[in-house]
Chain A
Amino acid sequence: MKTLKLTCLISLILFSFSSKGKFRKTSDAHFFKAPSSAKDAINLLNKLTSSMSYGIWTNQILNGSGNKYLSSPLSSEIESQQFLRIFSLFDLALTTEMKKWEAESKEPKHFLYLFAPMEKRYMDDFQSLPDHPLISKTKKASEVFFPRFMKWPFKRISSGDIVHKDQKTTFSLDFQNKLNQGLEKRLEFFWKHVENLYFNKDGKKNLQDLYSLYQSLFIPFAILCEMQVDKEKGSSYKLSLFLPSLFSFEKSNNPTLLPLVLKPGIEMNLPINVETPMAKFLSVNYLKEGVNNQNMFQHARKKLIKIELTKYFNKQDEILMSIKFGSLWKKQVIKAQKPPSKVKKFFSRFKRKKVKLHEPIGLYPIDMETMTDGIGLDGFVNFPFLKEKSKVNKYFNQYKMRVFINRLNINLKRPKQKSLEDSFKKNLTFTTLFDKKNSLISFRLNKEAEKKSQVFFLEKILGFTCIPKPIATQRFYFKNSKFECYQDLSTIKDFKATYSNDILKRTKRFGVKGLSLLNFRHTLNDLSNRDIVEELKDKSPELIQDVLKTVKESYDGFNLTIGTFP
């Protein structure tokens, strides 16, 4: 208990320091696009707090009523289900408020909040927020709870920095470039110090690196929130979070100040094995493909994860969630567009014109072309309808499968009701629907081969690509080189596009390659139809025990036992 208190105290002191960070080139800042009046901003705040409290308190009643009744306690939902319910109720309340506000507003309203790193040399290009006594007093009061968060500068985004064009809102090119550069430098700074800590580059217990990280550590690195209230174009909001590469903790092999260091990438067993009709997945990984201890920090510097939530208030029972794994943008080559054919042009006149929804603002374009940037599920080909030790399964189990998810689109949907009143009365929650069509998922099949005949079969018949992987000899025993064979399969659309024009390839497609495609299709369909949350529910008590056990073991292992709480 004493150790915990001391740790908290030290953290509080360190977190209280100014985080402008004289030794780094970027500073984090809060940017606001000023609403037309402070009244609007306060109205929005009231609606958000109202809706959030509705979600939390209603869930508390729904899941906290009679669950501890002595004679027959009722079961309540597991945490993930409760989270979805809170979110759904929050969304219901917010939708009601926004529809009402939309109807009452004469003019459209636009709100924008951005928390992002920016190079210090550009900071003075932005005006600070006006110094109203109430704002400074609120800021001071908030500093008690969030000391460092509130010390970052508060800046205004001028109307010149935001462009509204063709149903789309974007930042001006100049502003975008400044933000992009800021993020790049921020990531560079972060990973540089993490790397130094990992390898103990300064050889002095990394005090400076630790200090630097404490001064600048706040994840996510950027938050963007935009809200539109517009009767004609439709109201919407978008919340985006920008995170660096996922990382894990590892015991330090060097005599550093802390026993743990950060390591980019993760590799861990799934809480439950995911079995599909043609494959079985056991673990999850990130930033492990083609990455080793020497180059992992190089890779991590470029990686970016985006989590986006988009809501159109006209679609009152739906929220789009997208998680993107990719790399920082690269300069795009603008492809020349082919003009549409005359036939298409003729028939386009008769097509029903879709009402184009207003596209919310985006930031930090992300490159998702590299499959291995995605988060991976590891498993192998397996047929659960056969016996586990059957010869067929034993053979196919040798084909390892890694699923890469570069973009995971999930639709949160509520069942439609006649009116919002009905939805309120029924306290409906969201169901998660995996959007197969708009997600970006790829497969990589891996198999090792030793004999040339195996290599021939894999390359010529199955279309694998085999790379020799020489192994060290052991005294007088020479072994042939091992081959690492792989085959990449992207989404159905890409696959078809790759093979549709080549007769030979089409032939191969209907051959054994078709089996791979079948596997891919089945696995994808199965994964998209599963209710993982329900599956987790059954395992929940075991999971919690496992998590607690793991935490305790890690504490014991690192001598960080803090004793029992009173």
Chain B
Amino acid sequence: MRHTGQVLITCCLLIILSLESLASSESQIRLKFLKKKEERKKKAWKKVFSQIFAKNIKRELSINGKERDPLPLTYQSLYYNPEDFPTLFSKIGESESTIQAFESRERLLSKPKRFRYLLRHSIPSFKFNRGARNLIKSYNRYYKRDSNQINPQNFFENPLGQRLMHELKDTLFIVLSGFGSHLIDEAPFQSVLQEINRYYGRNLPNGSRPIYYPLPAENRFQPHELFYNVDQKQIKMDIVYPMGSEWGDTLGPHAMNAEKLNKWISSLPEIYKEKEIVFIGYSKGLTVALELLKKDLDLQKRTRAVFSLSGPQQGSLSLQLILKDLMKVTGTSSNEDLYKLLTDQNLKTFLADLKINYESKNQNEYHKLLEVLYKIEMGHLPETLLDKVSSFLSEDSLSIFKGAIEQSPTYRAKWNLENLNDSVFKFPLTIFSTSFITNVKDFFHKFDSSSNTYKFNNEIVPKIRPDLFKKVNIEWSSYDFGNDLVKNINQFVDWKRFSMDSFLLHLTSLAAFERSPYGMMDTQVTWPDSKSFFLDPRPLKAQFTENEISRIYDKLNLNWDKPHFDEFNNAPRNKLIPEEFRKNLKFIDLGEVRGSHWSIPFTQAIRIPNSHPMLSFKNQFPRKEFLLSIIQTYALYKKENN
């Protein structure tokens, strides 16, 4: 009896245990299933965004009376493959030579068959919830509409525009431009911004932020408090953007930019105070947005998403390479600075006292100071030295160097590790990444939508005017120097067919292309560096030397146990911070578009000051379609995650 009893008890225990384990394995299975579903959904956003972009291109072509095959323009503006970034990166990495890598990437990302699929088929809705499905249906209806039923002048007057206005009525998009943008009079993706401004009756008929010439840069634009304080229509969804120096010297340090941006946002009209915020950060705009959110909890609470458009989330390789020659870029009194530094005995004493081994033997005092500044930023030297260093440099030089150092890959790696976690970001936030990839051949040979043919136009070599030997008439007026200069140059060279942007970008990025993974970059930011830290499977040693990694490791300030150095060096970086410490953050990859760092957002980044845009080369890219795709994707995402 006793034995029977023991057996029975044992059996019961076994049954209970197995039930429990079944339950726990079931919950584990369920968790795994949900996780996989989540991963699949994340991948799906890339397809959704790419398809919306392709369809927008097709829609715009049809509206503008160009009932032509949208495939060539789509092919030239988009790179698409349904696989995720780690898979694609690995596939391209199988190449042995530079040419194989180029061919491999074009084959993987530029297959006409895939683009035709995206253009031809409706956006599938079965993976989404009911709300999102309804919204997708409205997108599909819009794309099928007759072009006569679409308002070509203003997207927001159209049914889909209205629908988006309604769906996102509590959303404020803030578009932030990049490094050096305070020197450019054009906002990124300006055409959409103009349309929404016109919709709300701001600065009609043009719709852009009024510029007051010839006032200095700081005060050049009409104050935003005035510009956005127009109440012709009820403000629903809106897109706002700082211009000029409204968020400070964009070459300068992030802390300063973030502070000024915060003030800018706070001083927007009352109607915007309660709206949810979505940052659309192009280039440095992204890193400034993250810096701002890190510091301001109230803003964090309001912010739902950040879109990174070629943001240097993991640094800018180009900027790192020109860091040491930055004094030439600034064009300020740098030569004077240098002369003073070379003869400054106090500086020599200061540097000698620091007793550091400088990296290169032939560095002059300027370079040494820069290295000291870099070490302070990375935490290897005490911050108290900053004042002393500042005393040797002009304000401009110091500001620019700090700004540039903060864009370097080593700095960003440290920043990402220390800040992309729940102790800093206390509220849910989704970071979307869109990468730009340049096919440099596009500078010479591209599809021209106006003539519907491929054209060979070398836009980086100026063309001499054939009628040069006719009478040349050089004229100057006292009030219109910019336009006069362009007109005079135009008599010698076909200025409209020469792209200063492409010329400068390419010339200054040759070294960066050589050092970028498989040559994939947009002339400023490499492909993997434009992805969030946690979307990148590369170990740190794939990008940094051991010395650089130990510099990051030594001064890393984490809220959890630092991994061993070996693990830190060799493990995939997206595993370096355990997921349980970053539950508030979601990272979604929206894929890649084709163009250069400047040609995608701007018609002209570099233009002779005060000259009319029509007199210079215009970069071609479907900008309106691109920004609208971002907004449409966000609307869907919001619906899906409500």
Task: Name B517's contact: one of A46, A66, A97 (CB within 8 Å).
Answer: A66
Q: Does A42 contact B (CB under 8 A)?
A: yes
**A65-B101, A74-B98 given as contacts; is B458 within 8 A of A424 (CB)?**
no
Docked-complex contact A74 and B518, CB < 8 angstroms: yes
In the complex, what distance in Å separates the CA atom of A425 from the CA atom of B456?
A: 12
* B444 and A58 contacting across the interface, CB-CB below 8 Å: yes
Chain A residues with Cβ below 8 Å from B2 are none
Cα A264 to Cα B561 in complex, Å, equals 76
> Are A42 and B101 in contact, with the CB atoms below 8 A?
no
B466 touches A68 (CB 8 A): no
Give the chain B neighbours of A68 by CB distance below 8 A.
514-515
Q: Which single member of A40, A51, A58, A70 contacts B441 (CB below 8 Å)?
A: A58
Closest A-chain residue to B513, C-beta based? A65
Asked if B545 is at the interface (CB within 8 A of a chain A CB), the reply is yes
B518: chain A residues within 8 A (beta carbon): 65-66, 69, 74
Determine if B468 and A134 form an interchain contact, defined as CB atoms under 8 angstroms apart.
Answer: yes
Give, as a whole number of angstroms, the nearest-CB distance from B49 to chain A.
25
Among A54, A64, A97, A421, which residue has its beta carbon within 8 angstroms of that of B519? A64
**A57 at interface by CB-CB < 8 Å:** yes
Q: 1/0 per residue A550-566: CB within 8 Å of B?
A: 00000000000000001
Query: In the bound complex, what is the Cα–Cα distance between A421 and B453 (angstroms)?
Result: 10
Given contacts A53-B458, A60-B510, is CB(A65)–CB(B102) below 8 Å? yes
B473 to chain A: which residues have CB within 8 Å? none
The interface residues of chain B lying within 8 Å CB-to-CB of A70 are: 515, 542-545
B17 CB-CB contact with A under 8 Å: no
Do the beta carbons of A66 and B510 come within 8 Å of each other?
no
User: With A53-B460, A54-B444, A58-B441 known to touch, is A64 a contact of B466 (CB < 8 Å)?
Assistant: no
Shortest Cβ distance from B542 into A: residue? A71
Which listed residue (B99, B461, B467) contacts A62, Cβ 8 A?
A: B99
Pick from B89-97, B178-186, B598-606, B618-626 the stretch touching chain A. Answer: B89-97
A464–B461 CA distance with the chains assembled, in angstroms: 62
Q: Answer whether A566 and B543 are a contact pair too, CB < 8 Å, given A65-B516, A66-B101, A67-B98.
A: no
Given A75-B97, A421-B454, A43-B542 contact (CB < 8 Å)? no
Taken residue by residue from 518 to 544, chain B's Cβ proximity to chain A (1 for < 8 Å, 0 otherwise) reads as 111000000000000000001001111
- For B93, give the chain A residue with the smallest CB separation: A72
Encoded as 1 (CB less than 8 Å from any B CB) or 0, chain A from 262 to 288 comes to 000000000000000000000000000
Residues of B within 8 A of A342 (CB): none
Cα-based distance from A43 to B461 in the complex (angstroms)? 13
B468 x A38 contact (CB < 8 A):
yes
Q: How far is the CB of A107 from chain B (nearest CB, A)?
A: 16
Closest residue of chain B to A58, judged by CB?
A: B441
CA distance A72 to B97 in the complex (A): 10
Q: Is A39 an interface residue (CB 8 A)?
A: yes
Please judge, given known A-B contacts A60-B510, A64-B98, whether A132 and B469 are in contact too, CB under 8 Å.
Answer: yes
Contacts of B440 in A (CB 8 A): 57-58, 61
Question: Which residue of chain B has the shortest Cβ distance to A63 in the bound complex?
Answer: B98
Answer whether A62 and B102 are a contact pair too, CB < 8 Å, given A70-B515, A97-B456: yes
> Which residues of B92-144 have CB atoms within 8 Å of chain A's CB atoms?
93, 95-103, 106
* CB-based contact B95/A74 at 8 Å: yes
Task: Check A75 against B506 for contact (C-beta < 8 Å).
Answer: no
Whether the Cβ atoms of A38 and B469 lie closer than 8 Å is yes
Contact status A50-B97, CB under 8 Å? no
Residues of chain B from 588 to 630 with CB closer than 8 A to chain A in the complex = none
State in angstroms the CA–CA spacing of A51 and B440 once bound together. Answer: 15
Question: What is the bound-complex CA distance between A100 and B455, given in angstroms?
Answer: 10
Is A76 in contact with B97, judged by CB distance below 8 angstroms?
yes
Note all chain B residues with C-beta closer than 8 A to A38: 466, 468-469
CB–CB A62/B543 < 8 A? no
| 16 pairs from A and B in contact (CB 8 Å cutoff) | A42-B465, A42-B468, A45-B464, A46-B464, A58-B440, A60-B510, A65-B519, A66-B101, A66-B513, A66-B515, A67-B519, A69-B518, A71-B543, A76-B99, A100-B456, A425-B106
